[in-house]
Amino acid sequence: MALPSYATPAEVAWHYGFRTFCGLVLLFLMVPILVIVPLSFNAEPYFTYSEGMMALDPEAFSLRWYADIVKNGMAAPKAPFSWDWIVDSWSNAQWIHSTKNSFIIGFAATLIATTLGTLAALGLTRPHMPFRKAMMALLISPMIVPLIISAAGMFFFYSKIGLAQTFPGIILAHAAIGTPFVVITVTATLAGFDSNLMRASASLGATPTRTFFKVVVPLISPGVISGALFAFITSFDEVVVVLFLTKFEQRTIPRQMWAGIREQISPTILAVATLLVLVSVMLLLTLEMLRRRNERQRGLSPG
């Protein structure tokens, strides 16, 4: 937005000074993330920029670490590419194994968290809900309590009921962590919901079930989807709870990265991290599109 012609020198200084400050803050936040992208193409097995990379020598760059994602752990990684090679990679490659677990656990936990969080938000937005503030504080407590405490508590509790080191256990743990994000986003969406639409639907003869699925769900769907994406990102990136509750069969991508840093330093970790950054960017763009769609539905101009 351009400054008006009548802006004073102080306003001009504030305008450009504030934008410069915001740019520096953004640079401070982004540089540690973006610096790993060029390193993931390093031809050498190091976590530092080589002289060839600094000189932009094409020989100093390689895709070997991206190939290692699908080869590491294979029984015959140097075999000719064939259907047997694909089966070998799918069954034995450690990073592929972790990726499969991350998506399975993430989707299952997101489904549970979205269902529970949406129902909780619908109840919390009712004006006659007793102890509404206390219930809201209880539901979002997993966001406030340090993860190490939650992970230790889940470990001792799940160990007693036989859910530790099982897929159902880690899925339920991730669902508990992701539910607060769904509650907050859906509650924020319901804050602008016009309850007169429900009364109008009932006056036209619609049942409560039909009103819910035909009126309420389409209007709150941007908030529900946004909450689901936040829950999925939380599950996909979570490592503390995974360290407590999983064994090798349930190892996820963050757990595999943790093991790689401790046991075998390899730039493959940087290649995986780069791919995760791309996935996060895509999800954030999806969230922004949903936010703009929600504003348009509420009669606001997206901005």
13-59 pLDDT, tens digit per residue, is 888 899 999 999 989 988 888 888 888 898 888 788 888 888 888 88
At 298 the pLDDT is 61
At 301 the pLDDT is 56
CB atoms within 10 A of CB 218: 10
At 1 the pLDDT is 58
| Domains of the chain by residue range | 88-297
Rounded average pLDDT over 140-159: 89
Query: Which two tokens mark 93?
Result: 């490659």
Confidence of residue 133 (pLDDT cuts 50, 70, 90): confident
At 299 the pLDDT is 62
Question: What are the pLDDT digits (tens) for 66-125?
Answer: 988 988 888 888 888 888 888 888 888 889 999 999 999 999 999 999 999 999 988 888
Check pLDDT > 80 for residue 202.
Answer: yes
At 300 the pLDDT is 58
Place domain 88-297 in its CATH homologous superfamily.
Answer: MetI-like (1.10.3720.10)
Question: What are the pLDDT digits (tens) for 263-298?
Answer: 667 788 888 989 988 888 888 888 778 777 766 766
Rounded average pLDDT over 172-188: 91
- Closest to 177 in 3D by CA, of 99, 125, 232: 232
Task: Report the predicted TM-score, pTM, of the whole model to 2 decimal places.
Answer: 0.83
Q: Is residue 206 left, alpha or beta, with left meaning phi > 0 and alpha meaning psi from -120 to 50?
A: beta
Rounded average pLDDT over 140-152: 88
Residues with Cβ within 8 Å of 180's Cβ and at least 6 positions away in sequence, in order, are 117, 139, 140, 141, 142, 143
Question: What are the pLDDT digits (tens) for 211-228?
Answer: 888 888 888 888 888 899
Residues with Cβ within 8 Å of 139's Cβ and at least 6 positions away in sequence, in order, are 120, 124, 179, 180, 183
Query: Which two tokens mark 186?
Result: 């859906």
Cα torsion through 112, 115, 118, 124, rounded to 10: -80
Check pLDDT > 60 for residue 12.
Answer: yes
Check pLDDT > 60 for residue 233.
Answer: yes
